[in-house]
Structure 1
């Protein structure tokens, strides 16, 4: 089975060239044009390796890598960037990157880097560790099991998807429009309150009777998932 590789690259031409080159070498490749979408794909699908640019328009590749590491500690990550100073490389490695390649680069060199990293983790191996954590809340993306204080919480498919998106974006305020687009894959109709309804459903299951409330409201802005008030 071909190894699945996710490319997080906002320059469409560059992303397309890398994807085409990797596919010609026998890999299965997917391109995400922004950091948040790449992060969402990384934790929801069984990729074997991630390639990410550092300079992304919505969030840095450094932050993408740090968040991937929370749930997928063994998933190989290669950073591609025009920033080639020693300090830049140190920052990338400190964030959890396994390798670092400076643009412009030869696709054959990228292939060698990928091949060496995949020797350490067999195809599909990293996906078995798809676990998101926040305090005493644990979410296993592979088994679909959600635990808080080691007690299982039963969620509907949409509640699970909503919680996954919020945990993937811990510490960041999420607008109703963004949640609608990313979780429901639809444009947000300001005449409805279905986002608030589902947030309340989730709160009752996740935060009820808990001293620490993980799902918090930011009036007039949206919602944020975090361990501290």
Structure 2
């Protein structure tokens, strides 16, 4: 069964989407905020995302740009009352895969989701039990990590940070992206929390004599691998 993530702040429309896609045989998870939507989308569990264009706080265009920027390739069906051609083009240019206007018919909603599934090739492949970045290994089931012969003992927040960076290895991640993905909060530019946790993590995975894996990209952010 394909799993669908719906990001929609309107309770009536959200319930309608859950009902429509549920009746069509899909497993639907519904979140009402852009922040929660980004966090869930990054899990890689979903076959398709339906995304409201006009969310409060963080709008749909920003969300889809963020997802594409961190390597999330899940097809996105953007939904909006702004259904003119210019708005559709903006949504597609931002990284959306299809666009449907409000109000929409149940038949059209299901047809568009099914078309995205066919284009994608079906449900996502399950994530491997062990992630590897060079000689670093992360066991997702045991929630443990090691580098070469060295076991890396990490508390929960550091483990989440390492896992996020490993899932998106060799990509640059800004402080904002890391803060929102790992802490699930809006970024506070006055905090040095990211620097503190990156420094602690670096000491544990980049031991003396090892080739550094956790890199600082000056002026941009951080990268693993």
Corresponding residue for residue 171 of structure 1 = 174
Contact 1:6 1:47 in 2 (8 A): yes
Corresponding residue for residue 57 of structure 2 = 58
Corresponding residue for residue 190 of structure 2 = none
Corresponding residue for residue 101 of structure 2 = 102
Aligned equivalents of 1:106, 1:157: Cα separation in 2: 48
Which of 177, 195, 213 is residue 216 of structure 2 equivalent to? Answer: 213
The normalised TM-score by structure 1 is: 0.66
Show structure 1 runs of 5+ residues with no match.
Answer: 129-140, 184-193, 217-224
- Of 18-27 and 204-213, deviating more is 204-213
Corresponding residue for residue 226 of structure 1 = 221
Show structure 2 runs of 5+ residues with no match.
Answer: 138-145, 147-151, 186-192
Aligned equivalents of 1:175, 1:68: Cα separation in 2: 12
1:152 aligns with 2:136: yes
CA deviation profile, 1:57-101 (whole Å, cap 9, x unmatched):
23121122123223233x211000111222211111112211100
Give 1:207 deviation, angstroms.
7.8
CA deviation profile, 1:97-155 (whole Å, cap 9, x unmatched):
11100111112110011111111223333x56xxxxxxxxxxxx6555363xx452646
1:121 to 1:215, Cα distance in 2 relative to 1, 3 A:
same
Aligned equivalents of 1:171, 1:120: Cα separation in 2: 31
Aligned equivalents of 1:211, 1:19: Cα separation in 2: 40
Aligned equivalents of 1:175, 1:210: Cα separation in 2: 17
Structure 1 counterpart SS, 2:216 = coil
Aligned equivalents of 2:28, 2:4: Cα separation in 1: 5
Corresponding residue for residue 116 of structure 2 = 117
Corresponding residue for residue 141 of structure 2 = none
Give 1:213 deviation, angstroms.
2.1
Contact 1:179 1:195 in 2 (8 A): no
Give 1:201 deviation, angstroms.
2.4
1:24 to 1:6, Cα distance in 2 relative to 1, 3 A:
same
Aligned equivalents of 2:92, 2:15: Cα separation in 1: 26
1:211 to 1:122, Cα distance in 2 relative to 1, 3 A:
closer
1:203 to 1:117, Cα distance in 2 relative to 1, 3 A:
same
1:121 to 1:175, Cα distance in 2 relative to 1, 3 A:
closer
The normalised TM-score by structure 2 is: 0.67
| Corresponding pairs, count | 192
Q: Cα RMSD over matched residues? A: 3.7
